[in-house]
Structure 1
Amino acid sequence: MARRRGSGSKKRGYRSRKAAAEARQARAGGWKSALWTWTKRGAIACVAIALIGAIALFTSVYFAAQSMPSYSELRQSQTGQTILVRARDGSQIVELGPSYGQWLEADEIPQVMKDAMISVEDHRFYSHFGIDPIRTTGAIIEGVFGEDRIGGTSTISQQLARNVFLNSNRTMDRKVREAILALALEWNFTKDEILELYLNKVYFGGGAYGIDSASRKFFSHSARELSLEEAAIIAGLVKAPSRYSPTADIDAAVSRANVVIGQMVRYGDLDPAVARQVNVDAVNLREEVGQDSIRYFTDWALPQLDLLLPSGTFEPIEVWTTLDVGMQRAATTAVQSNVPESAQGALVSLDRDGAILALVGGTDYVTSNYNRATDAMRQPGSSFKLFVYLSALESGYTPDDMVVDTPVTIEGWSPRNSNGRNVGEIDVRSAFAYSTNTVAAQLGNEVGFSNVASMARRFGITTPISTFPSMVLGSSEVRLIDMTRAFAAVSAGGESIEPYGILRVTTADGDELYRHENARSYRLVPDYVAAGITDLLQTAVATGTGRAAQIGRPVAGKTGTTSENRDGYFVGFSSGITTGVWMGRDDNGRVGGLGGGTAPARAFASYMRYAVRDRPVEEFDTDLQLPDWQLEPDDEYYFGEEGEYYYYIDEQGNLVEPGRSERIGNGEFDQEGERREPRDPLDPRGMDQERGGERPSVTTGNRPSNNSVNRPAEEKPPAAASDDFLERATGREVPDDRPRQRRSDEALVNERRD
């Protein structure tokens, strides 16, 4: 019986395992069945969505093609609008608008021009149907997995659709409409007709629309006579007309033309043997004369209309600007008269509200329309010390505090003064006035190089700023307009300034399309910090390195000279006008005798004498009303009820804290019975603890302590502004500050900086 029970038990166990296996198989089959079901549903949904999308696309293209103007109507339409630019007094300063040459039929256009344009802009032009799936897919993959943004995917048909029907806003909606219109163009017209429209309407810069206008502008002859080299130059302009313009930068134009030649060889439109004989440098360019430097200003201001005006504004308009014609003329003369031979110069002048009164981007707009006032990034030299001393004043220094001009080494970097000497004990005011490098290095190290970078960002510097020790001497590259803006904020008493150039825009009939409203102002530093830095800037001009900038009335400013006299800077203000001047070579070469206190300061003075001539003389507010936390203990600053001192001294000369009766002198004990060291309210060590973090290693001579005191916990100086605040104040995205320097710190040891 036991065996039978055992046998039955085994059979039941076998059946149990079999049933479990069958159940597992059933469950697995169920999961597979469910997966297959959802897969089929997903595939059906994708097919349905694709089908609906195809129907929608076909419908959109069909209706776009039906509503599209005829070929003859497109030929007669003109791209672009006439813009009449007026100065702040209403006088006309320039009229800008499209320039069209003769319309060339397809058989009149040289074949080299067609081949050059197709090779560089759309080499699959004759094989796609308006959009290039291969090019678009590759660009999307590169944009997702590579480092480049999605771009450069527009075919010739898409570019024509954008030029004729749309604007250049980079939005997804515009790209979708562009693709639909490109397909409609391909529906309605032949490839040769599309290419003819494109070559007669595309923009080549300088107001020139179409290849005939461009040929006459750059080469003084009809496009019917274009050579291979000339066709390559014109084809290369489409990507960036201002950057590759042969009248702006011949080297860039030649380099781009050689890229076009290479593309023609690559896609079989040019024999390699012929390409080897091409010499783009030998092309004869048309000489232009007589263009005014006002174009530097209009080149900066007018592109902002795309943001200021409603989309689709194509009618003729009048733009009323902030530019003062007399000041612009004086600024141009000041730069041209003082710039060293073979060097370039730039000037930006702002009114107290940020209005641009004058802007000069170079010595000759015809020779080079590159705008050095708004686009060039150059080292500002010691003018960058503005932010070092602003940080020091905010952290507790005053102009009368004593520091020591002594050899210093910070993280292996040993800056030297331009005269090679050290004078020992000196006050902050004199150290700034004489642009003492060793003191600036010590102050930057004490307040923290990241805090100096944050101060520069707070005042509107938009370029990346390194936090290497040498940054205190201006090793980070900046734009002149940003530096001028920073000094204008100081002139405004520490309030933020936003430069602007357009007052209002009207139609030809007088209907107002836009009117400028002043941006909200933010306080960047407390009043006493603004007063203190103004004191230092005024002294720098009165007795320091900026003496050449004196104009017979109060001037505050700062010079800057970089290594081997490669850049000269002067930025300053008087009577509500702030002006910045830069001089140097475009190739960053040496300029003999150039310094911030020489040619740039003289150009500043020459211009400012004219600019402020009708303005009342204004004295600077340099009266420092220090905050309570910065006052000395013997000023008897009260905390709480009257009679309760923060510190006081008993009759034995020991320091006593409020609410304690125990003395804190040598040999005294606290309430816990522990020996306590005397606490010196003038000991500055607490300030370093408050700033947080360790300082870089620094080796200096003896340095006297400053007049700063331990601050009460409830009353500290304002913290550095956050990125959100800076983006609201500057209106720009704040870039990351990365360690960045053009030359090594060791190479900066022997730099000459004023």
Structure 2
Amino acid sequence: MTPPARIDVQDPFYTKEKRVKKSSMLAADAWLDSSLYDMGQSAGRGWTKFQDIMSIFRVRGILRLFVELLSDAFTFGAIGAVLMTALALPAFDATATGEFNKAEDYSVVFQDRYGNEIGRRGIRSDDSVALADMPDYLVKATLATEDRRFYDHFGIDVVGTLRAIASNASGDSGTQGGSSITQQLAKNLFLSSERTIERKVIEAFLAVWLEWHYSKDQILKLYFDHAYMGGGNFGVVAASDFYFGKKVQDISLAEAAMLSGLFKAPTKYAPHVDLAASRARANLVLTNMVAAGFLTEGQVTAARRHPATPVDRTADINSPNYFLDWAFEEAKTVIEASHHTSNNFVVRTTIDTTLQKYAEDAVTSTVRDSGAQYDVEQAAMVVTDTKGAVRAMVGGVDYGKSQFNRAIVSNRQPGSSYKIFVYAEALEQLGLTPQDLITDRPVCIGDWCPQNYGRNYKGSITLASALAQSLNTVAVTLSIKTGRDSIAALSHRMGLRADYPITRSLALGVASVSVLDMASSYAVLADEGYKTPAYGINRIASLTGDVIFEAHPDDPRERILSETTVKGMNQMLRGVVTGGTGTKAKIEGVPTVGKSGTTSSYRDAWFCGFTGNYVAAVWFGNDDYHPTRTLTGGNLPAVAWQKFMAYAHTNIEIKPVFGVDFVPEQVVIAATDPSQVEDAPAERPPTLKPAAARKLVDVADLLRTTLRATMPVTDRASTPISVETSGL
């Protein structure tokens, strides 16, 4: 038997026989076909079952009409729900923040330093009275006129709305609107006053939201507090005080009816706008109360016969208006920074009403008596104590004619009153003293060569004499030695806030300053060298008692000048008054110091200075910048300054000035006429009215002259005499 031939597996030409396999694609195709067939069969059976089920609900005849109408109603209802939801989105946004509309402004009651009310600014608003404390007839008058079904509806008075639509269609001008109290509140709290369909839809949503989140009494209280009542008043509490001068708890039925009549159209029915229309509207409110069953006709008869009479608001209450305008802006800055939710605040200021009257009298009488002679029409004054508290502010001669506050606007050049910065920097930086000599001679910076007022030169002279005589060339020489940049920097540290260019004439007062800032700057010297910015607010609190600001004048402050520099400056400024350009500011018995200032072409005239008690800066000039008739700072400004200081130092302890060797002898004069004495809080002794103070100052001057005449001739120049006047 022949053995089989051996096969060489390495043979490259050998091909192994392979078994044929079935294709997987064929199986997939078969599965897909069968699946589709099964799905079709299932769908067919399902449709047959659906038809069988629906046949049960099939209706015919008249019943089908109702079914179709119901179906369309559901369809359109769904569309309407989507549309209403879209319109309500702004309402959702309004409530999401949880914040109500802010009133147009803040309501601020201002008090003087002793807590007496001196005026108001902004809106008038007060939310401090609880609903339970308001008169019952005020609540009923409001409900009878604005929303009789207030305690029954869900925020939208459907019946009232339909009635209002029918009334408007018939041309009747009914006494009730279609909006409920809740809807009116929603508008006041969240919306503007525009009249559109979209706003009414949003208002309706907000009304429902308010009903869900607040009780009826809470809603009514919010309504009473936020409704605009005309005359800048928001809420019935403020309106009661404004129109009747009463607390809302004390108003009569007739007054309550007049207030309730304001809700519909406050600008139309406000009693100070149209008293007849206001009374007619109040009479209609009384009729509504009878119709609603709240009162009987007999109970409202007296109110009809004796309608409410508003108080007269036209009289001038002599408020320190320039100061209040400034204090209001300062208060708003503090309030906004505090993020307090209230709009109503009480601000205790630093103003002293007696000193304010003295300041106003000093300024206006000086302009009245001598303004025409020097062709000057305006003046301003700021008075502070030595710690910076503003005691008086006069922004012009007549607030009724011009509310422009010339005391705080930084647009005037100070002239030589700026030289305190030049000399203080020289004493501080160069170590000079008032007795050091300096040469008064021509000096030039480039092609600019300043001259002295008398166009002459004094040669070798002490710094004290140079400042007393206000020598321009010496001031420029000092500015060259210290550098003008350092002088400007010192002026800003001492109190000047406005930026100004640093020019070669800076030493002569070519800068932009305000009267308020000059008072702050001189206060640094009055307060022994410490930074003493002027401030007018002691305390700010909400009506609920939340204190959001309180001044602390005794807190540590930055030292600006050394004691040595302050002593030297005060000694030199004392020389300005005793024998320099400011002699008209001298007051016998009072250590007065200061500096005059006059700008080129006599456009501005200043006198700034202080005593141990008060600091005052005075400016005279014209609003249109036309030059005066050679008016200098040592003339009318010094006269007005002296008038005020003479008044202000009656009946007070005269304090010394730091660095000035002056100890007055006290002589007391008594004013025996009680009618000439101002009322004053217990913290302050009684003081004289300005006219009486002037007379008393004249008597004091006469007494000093008489006493000095009795002294030996050798003692007259060296012995100071002080007359302390008393208003007792």
TM-score, normalised to structure 2's length?
0.51
Which amino acid letter does the alignment assign opposite residue 497 of structure 1? T
1: CA distance between counterparts of 2:650 and 2:267? 44
* Pair 221,568 (structure 1): closer, same or farther in 2 beyond 3 Å: farther
Q: Does 1:90 align with 2:115?
A: yes
Select 2:380's aligned residue among 337, 346, 349: 346
Give the letter for the 1:515 counterpart: E
How big is each residue's C-alpha offset from its partner over 1:349-400, in whole Å with a ceiling of 9 and x where there is no partner?
A: 1112211100111111111111111124200000000111011111221111
Q: CA deviation at 1:523?
A: 0.6
CA distance in 1 between partners of 2:188 and 2:535 (Å): 30
Task: From the CA coordinates, give the structure whose radius of gyration is larger.
Answer: 2
> What amino acid sits opposite 1:353 in the alignment?
K
Query: Counterpart of 2:118 in structure 1: which amino acid?
Result: I
Listed as ranges, the matches of 1:181-580 within 5 Å are 188-189=199-200, 290=316, 292=318, 294-309=320-335, 310-314=338-342, 316-339=344-367, 340-341=371-372, 342-394=376-428, 395-508=430-543, 510=545, 512-518=547-553, 520-552=556-588, 553-580=590-617
Which residue identity is paired with 1:548?
K
Superposed CA offset, 1:429-460 (max 9, x none): 00000000111111111111111111111212
Aligned AA (2:321):
R
Asked if residue 590 in structure 1 is aligned to residue 616 in structure 2, the reply is no
Give the AA of the match of 1:93.
I
Per-residue CA deviations over 1:547-566 (Å, capped at 9, x if unaligned) read: 11111211110000111211
Give the CA RMSD over aligned residues: 4.3
Indicate if the aligned counterparts of 1:65 and 1:184 stay in contact, CA closer than 8 A: no
Distance in 2, matches of 1:67 and 1:524, equals 51
Q: Against the structure 1 CA distance between its residues 453 and 288, is the aligned structure 2 distance closer, same or farther, given a 3 Å change threshold? A: farther
Contact residue 417 and residue 437 of structure 1 kept, 8 A: yes
Task: State whether residues 608 and 618 of structure 2, in contact with CA within 8 Å, keep that contact through their aligned partners in structure 1.
Answer: yes
Indicate the SS of the match to 2:591.
coil
1:451/1:376 CA distance change after superposition, 3 Å: closer
Give, in whole Å, the separation in 2 of the partners of 1:597 and 1:462. 25
Measured at CA, do residues 481 and 64 of structure 1 come closer, stay the same or move farther in structure 2, by a change above 3 Å?
A: same
Contact in 2 for aligned 1:566/1:585 (Cα 8 Å): yes
Sequence identity of aligned pairs in percent? 31
Q: CA distance change for structure 1 residues 60 and 541 in 2, over 3 Å: closer, same or farther?
A: farther
Question: C-alpha separation between the residues in 1 aligned to 2:446 and 2:466?
Answer: 22
What is the Cα deviation at residue 613 of structure 1? 2.5
Structure 1 residue 330 displacement after superposition: 0.5
Corresponding letter in the other structure for 1:389:
Y
TM-score (normalizing by structure 1): 0.50
Q: CA deviation at 1:420?
A: 1.5
What's the CA shift for 1:61? 3.6
Q: 1:80 to 1:473 in 2, by over 3 A?
A: closer
Q: Which amino acid aligns with 1:335?
A: V
Cα 1:213/1:321, change in 2 over 3 Å: farther
Q: Distance between the aligned counterparts of 1:536 and 1:503, measured in 2? A: 33
How many residues matched?
A: 419
Q: Hey, what's the Cα distance between the residues in 2 that align with 1:595 and 1:186?
A: 68
1:188 maps to a residue whose letter is R
CA 1:399–1:296: 2 relative to 1, 3 Å: same
Alpha-carbon spacing, 1:417–1:317, altered in 2? closer, same or farther (3 Å): same
Q: Distance in 2 between matches of 1:369 and 1:216?
A: 30
SS state of the match for residue 505, structure 2?
helix
Q: Distance in 1 between matches of 2:560 and 2:382?
A: 22
Cα deviations by residue, 1:69-106 (Å, 9 ceiling, x for unpaired): 9xxx99xx975554322111222212345379xxxxxx
| Cα distance between partner residues in 2 of 1:531 and 1:366 | 43
When residues 190 and 427 of structure 1 are mapped into structure 2, their CA distance, relative to the original with a 3 A threshold, is farther
In structure 2, relative to structure 1, the CA distance for the partners of 1:391 and 1:66 (3 Å cut) is closer
Change (3 A) 1:60 1:424: farther
Distance in structure 2 (CA, Å) of the matches to 1:185 and 1:306: 34
Could you tell me which residue of structure 1 aligns to residue 666 of structure 2?
Answer: none
* C-alpha contact 1:87 1:93 (8 A) present in aligned 2: yes
Q: What is the CA–CA distance in structure 1 between the aligned matches of 2:614 and 2:364, rounded to whole Å?
A: 21
C-alpha distance in structure 2 between counterparts of 1:213 and 1:423, whole Å: 73
SS at match of 1:409: coil
Q: Distance in 2 between matches of 1:198 and 1:595?
A: 55
**Cα distance between partner residues in 2 of 1:497 and 1:368:** 30
How far off its partner does 1:201 sit?
A: 9.4
Contact preservation (8 Å) 2:413, 2:509: yes
Change (3 A) 1:421 1:316: same
Instruction: Tell me by how many angstroms 1:293 deviates.
Output: 5.7
Q: CA deviation at 1:62?
A: 4.7
Structure-2 change in CA distance of 1:397 and 1:378 (3 Å): same
Q: Measure the CA separation in 1 of the matches of 2:561 and 2:121.
A: 42
Residue 476 to residue 60, structure 1, CA distance change in 2 (3 Å):
farther
1:64 Cα deviation after fit:
2.7
C-alpha distance in 2 between matches for 1:350 and 1:561? 23
Deviations 1:186-222 (A, max 9, x none): 953599x9xxx99999989xx99x9x999999x9999
Q: Which structure has more RCO (C-alpha within 8 Å, separation ≥ 6)?
A: 1
Write the deviation string for residues 648-700 of structure 1: whole angstroms up to 9, x where unpaired: xxxxxxxxxxxxxxxxxxxxxxxxxxxxxxxxxxxxxxxxxxxxxxxxxxxxx
